Amino acid sequence: ADRASRDSVKMIEIKISQGAKPSHGGVLPAAKVTQEIADIRLVEVGQTVNSPPSHPEFSTPIGLLEFVQRLRNESGGKPIGFKLCLGHKHEFLGIIKAMVATQIAPDFITIDGSEGGTGAAPVEFTNRLGVPCLEATYFANQALIGANLRDSIRLISSGITASGFDMLEKIAVGANVVNAARSMMLALGCIQARSCNTNLCPTGIATQDPARERAVDVEEKAQRVKNYHERTMHSFLELCGAMGLEDPDDLAPEDLLRRSENIMRSFVQSYAALEPGQLLSDDIPASFKTDWDRAQAAKF
């Protein structure tokens, strides 16, 4: 509660999984555990920290939402949400059922696509597991609409956001916010040395070594990141204008066309769209019904 209520903490995100390595935990090597990190994470300086993939505070969808409410109470009402990479769709729908049953909802949900990356993940996990960002974001958006929950929850989408069109796609399928990670790191000067986990990053970006950190010229790099961000936003808005839209909020799934075997279809022609509250009725589309019937609020 003390850490959650600090002024420096603006929101809290519960990490269930990430696109780069779904169902895999994390390891913070001993060399990267400085006094500052040890104080924040309540661990010993210079000792490797292993974070398991499961969470000690909950093991069911209902338990997850009860933990969301607990964090909300103990943080003084700060926004609380969770991040995950979709796998089995019925498990996400189980969380939706738990929201309906408990009347507890997160302030935001971050959908991390399977194309998401990190400098320290098993290649098989990075390349083979999870649902891609656009399909996952669209599914989550429709599930929230179908359960009459969409208006109260902000949807954040992440997974290789590097251009204005990458932003456009994610917003069109339902995202309120788009995250960008590696593209900002590249603008900062990352050379993808894949040594993030060693504390030996040659550019000084992914290290806690004070000597290596000096390689980052903050004033110069800040300007580069600013330039990249501004030009990406300009490209995004220019694309919206080219589509005849007056506001990015007017973007919709039918604006995206997908080509498959020389057949061009809009996103809504490829995936079912739900009406508000439709999952709570007897009129559930076949593409959702099997997973909805299988979903349980008390079990993932």
pLDDT tens track for 265-278: 777 777 788 999 99
User: What three-state secondary structure class fits 49?
Assistant: strand
Q: How far is CA 147 from CA 73, 94, 101, 284, in A?
A: 25, 12, 11, 11
Give 31's pLDDT tier (boundaries 50, 70, 90): confident
- Residue 57: which residues within 8 A CB-CB, separation 6 or more? 63, 67
In the chain, the amino acid numbered 184 is M
pLDDT confidence of residue 52: 84
User: What three-state secondary structure class fits 42?
Assistant: coil
pLDDT confidence of residue 26: 79
pLDDT confidence of residue 20: 63
Q: Could you tell me the two tokens for 15?
A: 């990490």
* Mean pLDDT calculated for residue range 121-140: 81
Percent of the chain with pLDDT over 90: 65
CA–CA separation, 184 and 18 (whole Å): 18
Report whether pLDDT(181) > 70.
Answer: yes
**What's the pLDDT tens digit per position in 53-76?**
888 899 999 999 999 999 999 999
Bridge partners for 177 per DSSP: 156
CA–CA separation, 280 and 283 (whole Å): 8
pLDDT confidence of residue 120: 63
Report whether pLDDT(130) > 90.
Answer: no
172 versus 21: which is more confidently predicted? 172
CA–CA separation, 84 and 266 (whole Å): 26
Cα atoms in the 13 Å half-sphere on the side-chain side of 134: 19
pLDDT confidence of residue 127: 65
Query: Which of 46, 42, 12, 16 is closest to 31 using CA atoms?
Result: 46
Report whether pLDDT(128) > 70.
Answer: no
With contact defined as beta carbons under 8 Å apart, do 101 and 91 qualify? no
CA–CA separation, 65 and 53 (whole Å): 18
pLDDT confidence of residue 122: 67
pLDDT confidence of residue 249: 93
pLDDT confidence of residue 121: 67
Question: What are the structural domains, with CATH classification, of the chain?
Answer: 12-294 (3.20.20.70)
**What's the pLDDT tens digit per position in 199-250?**
899 999 988 888 999 999 999 999 999 999 999 999 999 999 999 999 999 9
92 versus 258: which is more confidently predicted? 92
pLDDT confidence of residue 257: 84
Percent of the chain with pLDDT over 70: 93
Give 13's pLDDT tier (boundaries 50, 70, 90): very high
pLDDT confidence of residue 55: 87
CA–CA separation, 194 and 165 (whole Å): 27
pLDDT confidence of residue 117: 66
* Mean pLDDT calculated for residue range 149-176: 95
pLDDT confidence of residue 149: 98
pLDDT confidence of residue 29: 85
Model-wide pTM > 0.85: yes
Mean predicted lDDT score pLDDT of the chain: 90
pLDDT confidence of residue 227: 97
